[in-house]
Amino acid sequence: MERIVQQTDYDALSCKLAAISVGYLPSSLLQRLPADLAKKYVQWHRGYLVTLKKFCRRAFGKVDRAIRSSFPVMNYGTYLRTVGIDAAILDYLGVNEQVQVVNLGCGSDLRMLPLLEMFPHLTYVDIDYKDSVQVKNNVLRESEVLRTFLELPEKNTTPSPFLIDQRRYKLVACDLNDITETARLLDTCTNRDIPTVILSECLLCYMHENESQLLINMVLAKYAHGLWISYDPIGGSQPNDRFGTIMESNLKESRNLEMPTLMTYNSKEKYASRWSMALNVTVNDMWEVFNTEIPESERKRLRSLQFLDELEELKVMQSHYILMKAQW
């Protein structure tokens, strides 16, 4: 199961690279990127893919094929997911001077790069399964554009589980189902007293109910103040809604992938109920995000990129993914 879940990182990477290649991302406006960073954003992601080829030929092949056949409805969804999360992070970083971000289940996500550049006082921790962060570590050190930006030595000299252990950026190997180990590593590489952004982007959906709740409880108890940003699918709770059950069976059949709580936390409210001890919890489905947080100028830009053949399909899909923000 661990390996099957790790493979989903390549889906996320494919989606993001596809959205970049057609021009959905970056969004200078919503990701608040100055022109030079927007340019670098593209270079970093391309650099990551090209370098990935050296370490995982099969993964590269899969990603490369997927990028070329990505439907507009998927590009829209990737765009919404990316700018939705980024806007939430940026809002929080903008009002807190000394701040840290912890990306739980980071995979190959590269959003630490623009953020480290934009916020000089930020420290950033990426955590994921050992196999995933090893690939990421190899790629970051091998790719010249990434290595140079992070000022990384080519050779890895830091002891596992800290594959990268810089003052401002750490890459840590950890099975997040192991709550004791996760707590221990967070104690080592983060500061409990400064405001903390916890990011979980398609992480909790692969965890069992008990493990995910333990993780949430542990983190909320550990940090004095923070913002948890979570993006996940929900199964749907309307009587005639079959999206979730079809999703379960499609994923099971095509790749033996399970989402143990998809139908347990099948509505926005149920999903967010796990953070009930936080002070302020908001949760929106991504269709709401599309309709309320994307200004007309951006919609116009998106329309000019590709014809969207089916708006209702976008609505069906996006109303089954949520963005949750819990502040404490």
Partner 1 sequence: MTDLDKIIASLREGKHIPEETVFKLCLNSQELLMNEGNVTHVDTPVTICGDIHGQLHDLLTLFEKSGGVEKTRYIFLGDFVDRGFYSLESFLLLLCYKLRYPDRITLIRGNHETRQITKVYGFYDEVVRKYGSSNVWRYCCEVFDYLSLGAIINNSIFCVHGGLSPDMTTVDEIRTIDRKQEVPHEGAMCDLLWSDPEDVDTWSLSPRGAGFLFGKREVDQFLEKNGVELIARAHQLVMEGYKEMFDGGLVTVWSAPNYCYRCGNVAAVLKIDDDLNREYTIFEAVQAQNEVGNAIIPTKKSQMDYFL
Q: Which residues bind partner 1 (CB under 8 A)?
A: 8, 11-12, 14-15, 65-66, 69-72, 74, 77-78, 81, 202, 233, 240-243, 245-247, 250-251, 253-254, 257, 299, 303-304, 306-313, 316-317, 321
Q: How far apart are CA 162 and CA 141, in angstroms?
A: 14
DSSP 204: G
CB of 52 to partner 1, least distance (A): 16
Q: How far is CA 43 from CA 48, 77, 182, 220, 304, in A?
A: 8, 22, 32, 36, 23
If the CB atoms of residues 196 and 319 are measured against partner 1, the closer one turns out to be 319
CB of 301 to partner 1, least distance (A): 11
CB of 271 to partner 1, least distance (A): 15
If the CB atoms of residues 105 and 226 are measured against partner 1, the closer one turns out to be 105
ω before 239 within 30° of 0 (cis)? no
CB of 149 to partner 1, least distance (A): 27
Compute how many other C-beta atoms are within 10 angstroms of the C-beta atom of residue 185. Answer: 20
CB of 225 to partner 1, least distance (A): 30
CB of 276 to partner 1, least distance (A): 26
Count, in order, helices (H) and strands (E) of the chain. 14, 8
If the CB atoms of residues 11 and 293 are measured against partner 1, the closer one turns out to be 11
- Mark 92-126 as b/e (b = at least 16 C-beta within 10 Å): bbeebeebbbbbbbbbbbbbbbbbbebbeebbbbb
Q: How far apart are CA 16 and CA 164, in angstroms?
A: 24
If the CB atoms of residues 39 and 65 are measured against partner 1, the closer one turns out to be 65
If the CB atoms of residues 14 and 190 are measured against partner 1, the closer one turns out to be 14
If the CB atoms of residues 88 and 164 are measured against partner 1, the closer one turns out to be 88
Strands (E), the chain: 99-104, 122-128, 162-165, 169-173, 196-201, 226-233, 280-285, 321-327
Q: Which residues contact 105 (CB under 8 A, 6 or more apart)?
A: 127, 128, 176, 200, 201, 202, 203
If the CB atoms of residues 71 and 149 are measured against partner 1, the closer one turns out to be 71
CB of 151 to partner 1, least distance (A): 32
